[in-house]
Amino acid sequence: MKSKIAAEGARTVPPREHGGNADIKDLSRGSKIYFPVYVKGAGLSMGDLHFSQGDGEITFCGAIEMAGWLHLKVDLIKGGMAKYGIKNPIFRPSPITPNYKDYLIFEGISVDDQGKQHYLNIHIAYQQACLNAIEYLTKFGYSRAQAYAILGTAPVQGHISGVVDIPNACATLYLPTEIFAFDVMPGSEGPIKQVKGGIDIPMSPDK
């Protein structure tokens, strides 16, 4: 049985139908999640705790990782998948989510850096929104590496903002302005360099 599981079991590094690496910033203390169960006798495990992260965890391992423990209460809804018509997890967000009121919103569309159009590709659109935000933050003195790290660790919000008008999908990245000690909003005087900067990394071309 163990060898069968080892050979056929779905790895949970990427999100799966049954859960797995659900790095969603509002899935935190006090939240409630409903996992579909596909296998008789299925188990439950948790891990990879984050202190803070942005939507999408765009830097892959860029969230602020933390040690900790989990206090769980588990109930079973027999036949719940059929009763509620779900095939992927659903959840109720934490009541202690970060509460920011002011955002600067960056738009991206599904056209890459080389001008190639990707039909309704929301991944490319969100990538472009993030790249736009990174380039913007460099005008205030951040290196691209620093700006990239900010988007991975600060509680930014990612939104699918348009898939109705073909051929381009539109995604937006909401950057909370209150996390900065200076004004990052655009103005007629232009950006004022506020940060000394630091180690930079080359940007990878789209593939």
User: Residue 53 in contact with residue 152, Cβ under 8 Å?
Assistant: yes
What pLDDT is stored for residue 126 in this prediction?
A: 94
The per-residue pLDDT for range 14-58, each reduced to its tens digit, is: 778 888 777 788 888 888 999 999 888 888 888 778 888 888 777
Q: Does domain 103-179 have CATH number 2.30.30?
A: no
What is the residue extent of each domain of the chain? 1-97, 103-179
User: Residue 157 in contact with residue 102, Cβ under 8 Å?
Assistant: no
The per-residue pLDDT for range 103-135, each reduced to its tens digit, is: 999 999 999 999 999 999 999 999 999 999 999
Look up the pTM and report it. 0.83
pLDDT band for position 203 (50/70/90)? low
Rounded CA separation 130/146 (Å): 13
For the cut 60, the answer to whether the pLDDT of residue 207 exceeds it is no
Helix (DSSP H) and strand (DSSP E) numbers for the chain: 4, 7
The per-residue pLDDT for range 171-183, each reduced to its tens digit, is: 999 999 999 999 9
CA–centroid distance for 106 within its chain:
15
Considering the chain, what percentage of its residues have pLDDT values greater than 90?
Answer: 52
> Strand pairing of 50-52 and 64-65?
antiparallel
